[in-house]
Amino acid sequence: MATTIQRGKPIYAFSKENAPVAFVKPGDEVIIETYDCFEDQIASEETDYDAIDWNRINPATGPIYVQGAEPGKTLAVHIEKISVKNSGVLSTGKNLGTMGHRLEDLQFKITPIEQERILFNEKIKIPFNKMIGVIGVAPEEGAVNCGTPGEHGGNLDTTLITEGATLYIPIFHKGALFGLGDMHAAMGDGEIGVSGVEVGGSATVRFEVRDDLNIHYPLLSNKQGIAMIVSKNTLDEAAKTSVEEMIDFLSPYTDLGLGKLTMLMSAIGNAQISQIVDPKLTARFFVPRWFLNAYGIYTL
């Protein structure tokens, strides 16, 4: 039977201090309803900066306590389905995103969504590229605002976090204290203007608790392969660490030394950008599924 977790009162930071709103078991089908990243405050393109409660940005639904989740283990989040509402909102403006130094006012664009297309204007109907922006667990230390990504997940804004994918996240506290929000009907790698097509909706997930994976950052798995997702103060540092963490993760499954494995990753792995607009920047290193199959790595 499915458990539905309503949007209710969301969280704005991931923290072990947040009281769980639901308790679920591994294997349960869990439907999580979410607001958009503005907590549905943008009803009109003319919405004023001052009319917005900026304390209510990037809400996540949760925390959800997963039975059996213990520090040191890994939470697997199988994303089975993403449903989005029929209207999205885009935003950019002064000091926001990569073009913010050339923009004046805060701008919004509201886009109807029909038949899996986002109606931007008469010429442009954006194809669906549904994904989850904010997804994570309580971090090891203190509280981390839902707008910031990190080892615990959070605002990862990674296009690969979508239907059919599994995200593995290190667990730092009992129950994991999982939260999810900030869905996008579409987003490009980089999220360069600071928003995707922001939309409320619901995600259907199943949790699994794993004790056989040694990861320090979120790791994504899909049909095509796996990606180590790392967020740091600079993109350089994020990219470099994602490579290093991936190589350290894969090494024990292979008989390749550090040099040979690095050569191979240089030939077949891809350093990719997730987002370049959040308080920390996110890069990922992607390794194709056929490499995993060749070494009998079927665990992801």
Q: Where are the beta strands (DSSP E) in 68-160?
A: 74-84, 87-92, 107-114, 117-119, 125-127, 131-136, 143-145, 149-150, 153-155
Task: Return the residues of window 174-193 that contact Ca ion according to CB under 5 A.
Answer: 182
CB of 233 to Ca ion, least distance (A): 17
> In angstroms, rounded to a whole number, what is the distance separating the alpha carbons of residues 12 and 256?
44
Pick one of 36, 40, 151, 157: the residue that binds Ca ion (CB under 5 A): 157
Confirm or reject binding of residue 182 to Zn ion (CB under 5 A).
yes
CB of 38 to Zn ion, least distance (A): 9
Task: Return the residues of window 206-265 that contact Zn ion according to CB under 5 A.
Answer: none
**By rule CB under 5 A, what count of residues binds Zn ion?**
4
Q: Which of 40, 79, 54, 39 is nearest to 159 (CA)?
A: 79
Q: Which of 272, 263, 184 is nearest to 228 (CA)?
A: 272
Q: Which residues contact 256 (CB under 8 A, 6 or more apart)?
A: 264
Confirm or reject binding of residue 40 to Zn ion (CB under 5 A).
no
For Ca ion, which stretch binds (CB under 5 A), given 8-16, 115-123, 133-141, 249-257? 133-141
Confirm or reject binding of residue 199 to Zn ion (CB under 5 A).
no
> In angstroms, rounded to a whole number, what is the distance separating the alpha carbons of residues 289 and 272?
16
Confirm or reject binding of residue 191 to Zn ion (CB under 5 A).
no
CB of 249 to Zn ion, least distance (A): 28
CB of 157 to Ca ion, least distance (A): 4
For Zn ion, which stretch binds (CB under 5 A), given 17-25, 108-116, 122-130, 190-198? 190-198
CA 82-126-47 angle, 5° bins: 85
Confirm or reject binding of residue 10 to Ca ion (CB under 5 A).
no
> In angstroms, rounded to a whole number, what is the distance separating the alpha carbons of residues 156 and 229?
8
Q: Which of 71, 79, 81 is nearest to 209 (CA)?
A: 71
Pick one of 5, 37, 165, 250: the residue that binds Zn ion (CB under 5 A): 37
The DSSP bridge pattern shows strands 178-184 and 74-84 to be unpaired
Binds 74, which of Zn ion, Ca ion, none (CB < 5 to 8 A, cut-off by type)? Answer: none
Confirm or reject binding of residue 151 to Zn ion (CB under 5 A).
no
Nearer CB in complex with Ca ion: 12/249: 12
Token pair recorded at residue 228:
């180590």
Q: Which residues bind Zn ion (CB under 5 A)?
A: 37, 133, 182, 198
Q: Which residues bind Ca ion (CB under 5 A)?
A: 133, 155, 157, 182
